[in-house]
Amino acid sequence: MKNITLTLLISILLFSCGEPLPTELIEVTNTSEVEFEAVPPGSANLDYDSTGIVDRNIDKSIVVSVVGVRNTNFRTVQTEGYYYAIFNDKSNPVQTANGHMLGYKTLQMNSVFFNNFQARKIDYKLKYKIGSVYLDTLLGVKYFASQRMMNMMGRMNNFPYAGRVNFRVVSGPGRNIEFDIPTPSEIIGRVRLIGNRNASDEYFDLEWNSEGRGRVEIVFATINQNGEVNPLMKVKGNDNGNMKVPFKVFKNIIDKDNRSLVVSFARKIENTDKFTDDSYIVSESIHNIRIDLP
């Protein structure tokens, strides 16, 4: 009996080298579906004040963007609206010295109207960063209107959130483009830094007025004394009004020189199939909040 027992024991011992298998679970929580994304440097338009932060290089022929912006800077709040359209000449790409795609040369139209307000033709410059140097380049023209301009002309006091903006392009006889761009409801956010830095459980508590459906994007950027903004990271989540981002994500970023962040809440409606496939139409509500870290 003894021998049988010992033999069985030893043989099983030799075969049981496995570890208990882990059970895979899927998280069920209401703070879900958050996506972190690094914002590649050298993104277009680092002009914080004027157009909000729009990153992506839009590889389309027609780019139309209507953005309602709210800026919270220390204790002041400013609202603005920016409307622009760019007509890229895709046969004319523009790159940085090191081959990084900046955009395309633009085409000119006769006239562009946002809500029947004629947009002005302005230089379309892109500010970009190479190394630690900020440079800009002229790509062409941008058709631009702002809420202030409209107000001065006696029109439209505020950006039409949760409504629509009419867009009309006159490019030549028989070559008009017109459509309505739906706008999202205004997003108003709040940023709090909660927690104990020493216990490394500090987090940014981000709150905003939620739609209950759809997604929001929140972008974190640093801002220097010159007002130059460097977007770093985008966090996408459900439009449920709340998100927590652990402070330690920025551990490597925040130092004694870089103590100011801009947190931008953005609610977008993107329409790429409005006109042709080769167009990018976006309407956004952006709330930029500048915070200075203690």
Residues 107 to 146 in contact with other proteins, rule: CB under 8 A:
129-132
Alpha-carbon separation of residue 18 from 5, 9, 12, 141 (angstroms): 22, 16, 12, 66
> Which residues are paired to 76 by β-bridges?
73
* Cα–Cα distance, 266 to 263 (Å, whole number): 10
Distance of closest approach, residue 259 Cβ to other proteins, in angstroms: 15
**Tally of CB atoms within 10 A around 131:** 8
Q: Which stretch binds other proteins (CB under 8 A): 117-125, 152-160, 161-169, 228-236?
A: 228-236
Alpha-carbon separation of residue 14 from 2, 22, 164 (angstroms): 18, 22, 72
Residue 251 binding other proteins, by CB under 8 A: yes
Residue 18 binding other proteins, by CB under 8 A: yes
* Cα–Cα distance, 194 to 287 (Å, whole number): 20
Paired tokens of 131: 């190394």
Residue 25 binding other proteins, by CB under 8 A: yes
Cα angle for residues 128, 129, 134 (degrees, 5° grid): 90
Do residues 165 and 66 make contact, with C-beta atoms less than 8 angstroms apart?
A: yes
Do residues 249 and 233 make contact, with C-beta atoms less than 8 angstroms apart?
A: yes
Query: Of 56, 113, 126, 127, whose CA–CA distance to 83 is shortest?
Result: 113
Residue 248 binding other proteins, by CB under 8 A: yes
Please identify, using beta-carbon distances, which residue of 122 and 130 lies nearer to other proteins.
130
249 membership: H or E segment, kind and range: none
Terminal CA-CA length for the chain: 74
Sign of the Cα torsion 223, 229, 230, 232 reads positive
Q: Which of 124, 128, 167, 250 binds other proteins (CB under 8 A)?
A: 250
Paired tokens of 83: 């409307």
Residue 41 binding other proteins, by CB under 8 A: yes
Q: Which of 76, 252, 256, 257 binds other proteins (CB under 8 A)?
A: 252
Residue 76 binding other proteins, by CB under 8 A: no
Please identify, using beta-carbon distances, which residue of 118 and 260 lies nearer to other proteins.
260
Please identify, using beta-carbon distances, which residue of 77 and 130 lies nearer to other proteins.
130
Residue 17 binding other proteins, by CB under 8 A: yes
Do residues 78 and 70 make contact, with C-beta atoms less than 8 angstroms apart?
A: yes
DSSP 152: H
Please identify, using beta-carbon distances, which residue of 94 and 233 lies nearer to other proteins.
233
Residue 33 binding other proteins, by CB under 8 A: yes
Residue 101 binding other proteins, by CB under 8 A: no
Binding footprint of other proteins, residue count (CB under 8 A): 52
Q: Which of 181, 216, 232, 281 binds other proteins (CB under 8 A)?
A: 232
Q: Which stretch binds other proteins (CB under 8 A): 13-21, 167-175, 178-186, 277-285?
A: 13-21
Q: Which of 5, 76, 91, 198 binds other proteins (CB under 8 A)?
A: 5
Q: Which of 71, 147, 230, 283 binds other proteins (CB under 8 A)?
A: 230
Q: Which stretch binds other proteins (CB under 8 A): 34-42, 69-77, 153-161, 283-291?
A: 34-42
Judged by the rule CB under 8 A, the positions of this chain that interact with other proteins are 1-2, 4-6, 8-9, 12-13, 15-29, 31-41, 129-132, 199, 201, 220, 230, 232-233, 246, 248-253
